Chain A
Amino acid sequence: MDELNNLNAASSDVEIVRQIQAGDKNAYNLLVIKYQHKIIQVILKFIPNNADANDVAQEAFIKAYRSIGNFRGDSSFYTWLYRIAVNAAKTYLESNQKYQGALDVDAEDFDYKDSEGVLTSKDTPDRIIESEELQAVIQKAIQNLPEDQKQALLLREVEGMSYDDIAVVMKIPVGTVRSRIFRAREYVEKQMASLTA
């Protein structure tokens, strides 16, 4: 089932890539929104400064856009993007004296495939206020969700399960899974509006 999920993820991203290759620049924004947090997280492993990591992540996304004409779908889009991000981070470290020695970090140490078959990191850095505040609001909203919506959303976001798998686990139709996850997101989004507006 995991392999099927991987195929779905890959085909969905490849579909967007094809649109971009056909000249639809705006479609690239969908991929940026989808993977920005993962990419920043990867770069933070190399560059422990949030502002610098954000700059390098932006650079990586721009580089990926410029090279997207060469993307043929041999690997998943995220795997391809991940390599570009790691290379951008290493290049940045090499050109900045203050980070000399940080190159000892081996990207392979924290490479593993998540439920979508894409590379991600094993652990997360400590949170500071802004993220903690946001996270607190989100957690509180999750707790207030109806149990069926909460379970569906957590199975998807935390466990990385496909809608089909969630349907099996919860013994409900796939369409119901789809609507429950959507409604859960809408509710949490409303709760965090004051922070994100």
Chain B
Amino acid sequence: MVKSTRTDLDLEQISAALDNEDSFAKDVALNKEAVSHLKNWSLIGASLRNELPKTTNLTFADSIAAKIAEEPAPRVVDQVEVNKAPEIKFSFKTLSKKFAFALGQIAVAASVAIVTVVGVQTWNAQDDYTLTQASSAPLGPIEGVNLASYQSSNAESIIRLENDKNPSAEGRPADSDDKVEQKQRAEIDKINNYVRGYVINIASK
């Protein structure tokens, strides 16, 4: 029995593969006969679809194949590698830089806080006790002791801490307890104001 001499090349399969109706056999691209048929069949299809240019370059694919042969193999981008989060490396230098930076930020924040607190306190103090007020506030003598040379000439500001409850020999009517306490508080406030004003005055010099 004579064995069939038919080539292993299945041209019908190649024809179907060109139409996306079958797969190309392995290494078919290396078979010159198969490639030649594919070129011609591709040309027939292009002609029937009026896709041919004015002139047809029959060696177009060969030229590209020659250039591709000189090219390195394509590098497939590993999508897993692309999507992987970048690895963070810790080093002493990096850590020390980060620590110094954080420390600097804390120092700046603390400085700002101190300046703010002192500023607010100073602002309030100036509102309540200006130097002028502190130095010029009238302060009457207490128990006949003159605390300041600029004491007020207002006779009503003279306080008798113990005797004001009783009618004076000078004929003034006796004050009630509330009024006396009120006067005492007012005088104490004046004294405190004077002392604060004095301290601020000294401090400002």
* Contact across chains for A28 and B56 when beta carbons are under 8 A apart: no
| Interface contact A158-B49, CB-CB below 8 Å | yes
Q: CB within 8 Å of B: which of A99-140?
A: 116, 124-128, 130-131, 134-135, 138
Chain A contacts of B57 at CB under 8 A? 54
Q: Is chain B's interface secondary structure helix, strand, loop, or mixed overall?
A: helix
Q: How far is the CB of A108 from chain B (nearest CB, A)?
A: 20
> Smallest distance from the beta carbon of A101 to chain B beta carbons, Å?
22
Interfacial chain A residues near B137, Cβ < 8 Å:
none
B93 at the interface (CB under 8 A from A): no
Count residues of A near B (Cβ-Cβ below 8 Å).
69
B18, A34: Cβ atoms closer than 8 Å? yes
Q: Which of B17, B49, B55, B63 contacts A12 (CB 8 A)?
A: B17
Bound Cα distance from A25 to B47, whole angstroms: 28
Interface size on B, residues (CB 8 A): 53
In the complex, the answer to whether B39 meets A40 with C-beta atoms within 8 Å is no
Nearest-neighbour CB distance to chain A for B151, whole angstroms, equals 96
Query: Which stretch (A79-87, A88-96, A181-189) binds chain B?
Result: A181-189
In the complex, B99 has a CB within 8 A of chain A: no
Residues of A within 8 A of B (CB): 5, 8-9, 12-13, 15-16, 20-21, 23-30, 32-34, 36-38, 40-41, 44, 50, 53-54, 57-58, 61-62, 65-70, 72, 116, 124-128, 130-131, 134-135, 138, 142, 153-154, 156-158, 162-163, 178-179, 181-182, 185-186, 188-189, 192, 196
